[in-house]
């Protein structure tokens, strides 16, 4: 992928402090807003351990995330430990000790037009490890 497109995606992800996570699976369609932080091209969310999102992710890692300024599709994974370099502010969020850390690897990021409808940019990212 072109470096400037990847850098643009990383810059867009850094703007969000909260994102709406949408999952589907045995618990049905779920949507909820959670604190988040970006590290490189990955996005990390704090999701309550009692959330049906985690149950859905056991069966299907495909997710959609929405934030002010972007929409993305990607694959999610529940982590047992935070990665080095993750913003410490995320782990100090109220209630963080009762949450699971979920990493989302974006496949596609779409940035809406400033005026009107539709997207001004669509950036395809590698979803590999």
Please report, for the chain, the start and end positions of each structural domain, with discontinuous segments joined by +.
3-124
As a whole number, mean pLDDT of residues 69-87 equals 93
- Do 89 and 45 contact (CB within 8 A), yes or no? no
Mean pLDDT of the chain: 91
The pTM of this model reads 0.90
Please name the residues in contact with 97: beta carbons below 8 A apart, sequence gap of 6 or more.
none
List strand residue ranges (DSSP E) for the chain, in order: 18-23, 30-39, 42-48, 62-67, 70-79, 99-112, 119-124
* pLDDT above 70: residue 62: yes
Decide which of 45 and 9 is more confident.
45
CB atoms within 10 A of CB 44: 21
If you average pLDDT over residues 40-61, what whole number do you get? 96
Q: Nearest-CA neighbor of 59 among 109, 93, 24, 19?
A: 24
**Mean of the pLDDT values across residues 34-40?**
95
The answer to whether the beta carbons of residues 25 and 53 sit under 8 Å apart is: no
3-124: CATH topology is Pnp Oxidase; Chain A (2.30.110)
* Under 8 Å between Cβ of 77 and 61: yes
The end-to-end CA distance of the chain, in Å, is 15
């Amino acid at each position: 992928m072109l470096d400037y497109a990847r850098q643009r995606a990383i810059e867009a992800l850094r703007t969000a402090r909260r994102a709406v996570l949408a999952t589907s699976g045995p618990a049905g369609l779920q949507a909820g807003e959670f604190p988040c932080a970006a590290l490189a091209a990955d996005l990390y969310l704090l999701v309550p351990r009692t959330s049906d999102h985690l149950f859905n992710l056991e069966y299907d890692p495909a997710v959609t995330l929405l934030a002010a300024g972007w929409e993305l599709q990607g694959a999610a994974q529940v982590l047992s430990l935070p990665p080095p370099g993750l913003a410490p502010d995320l782990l100090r969020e109220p209630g963080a000790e009762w949450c699971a850390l979920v990493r989302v690897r974006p496949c596609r990021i779409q940035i809406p037009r400033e005026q009107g409808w539709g997207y001004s940019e669509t950036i395809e990212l590698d979803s590999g490890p």
